[in-house]
Amino acid sequence: MTGFRLAPSAEFAGYRLEAHESVGSTNALALERAQGGDTGKLWITALKQEAGRGRRGRVWATPDGNLAATLLVTLGRNFERAATLGFVAGLALADALDAAAPTARIHIAPDGGGAGRNRYELKWPNDVLANGSKLAGILLESSLIRPQCMAIAVGIGVNVVAHPQDVPYPATSLSELGANCDAQALFYALSDAWMDHMSVWRDGAGLAAIRDRWLARAAGLGSQVAVRVGGDVKRGVFETIDDECRFVIREADGGRLTISAGDVHFGAVASAGAG
């Protein structure tokens, strides 16, 4: 038995759970289910993931005890808004962490400065940070099942008991933060928190409200950033995200630059040129 279970709100809304001790990739399994006819609202969880993936084909290791979870969502319209489900997932995960890991040692300055304004912050486009270090990542993958049906695998990986050591960015885990929380408790809270933000998103119709919620948790808002876009590095002040949740910076000459995809770096790394 894995110990995973859905929150009552998720069960009532018709969500289902497929729980595993270990899988190759929860995202790959979710898309397989969609190709086999599953219509969505299916959570797939695992305590260990052998072949997890991150953005741009990077490896995302999930050692035993960490959380790997994927929600299969199917869309019959507004395919162009599918990518914004990552912002829904980030908000749900941050809320779940607040609920399930209240004892985590997160540093918040009284004036809202320092490590941030929130216990858990969201880094564009798909990371959750604690004390400025990566705690969790989100990866969306899609497959067109038929002309009017797209399957989206909303993959969520959380460093519960351990974090990777050989990565070019600071990382942390709930265990390192002193949180008394396991993967099962975190998933239970996540399945509940998802309901709130998904009901607001409404196939993309409520994206403006999701954007506002995301900005309230945004890491680095108003600070100097460097964004690696392909082989180029763009520098400026992180000003906002636009109506389509694209990253907007104010460059040194006062111009605004809107970025659809890239790797964002803060602080000393931004000053040095994003590595």
State which H helix or E strand residue 139 sits in.
Answer: strand 133-146
Mean pLDDT, rounded, for 132-154: 95
Question: 224-272 in CATH: which number?
Answer: 2.30.30.100
Q: What is the rounded average pLDDT of the residues 263-274?
A: 65
Rounded Cα gap, residues 120 and 218, in angstroms: 9
What's the pLDDT tens digit per position in 211-255?
A: 999 999 999 999 999 999 988 999 999 999 999 999 999 999 999
Question: Considering just the CA atoms, what is the radius of gyration of the chain in Å?
Answer: 18
Check residues 112 and 257 and name the one with the higher pLDDT: 257
pLDDT digits (tens, 9 = 90+) for 90-103: 999 999 999 999 98
37 vs 63, higher pLDDT:
37
Residues 8-216: name the CATH superfamily: Bira Bifunctional Protein; Domain 2 (3.30.930.10)
What does the domain layout of the chain look like in residue ranges? 8-216, 224-272
> In the chain, what percentage of residues exceed pLDDT 90?
77
Residue 58: per-residue pLDDT: 58
Assign 109 a pLDDT band (cuts: 50, 70, 90): low
What pLDDT shows up at residue 265? 92
C-beta neighbour count of 168 within 10 angstroms: 9
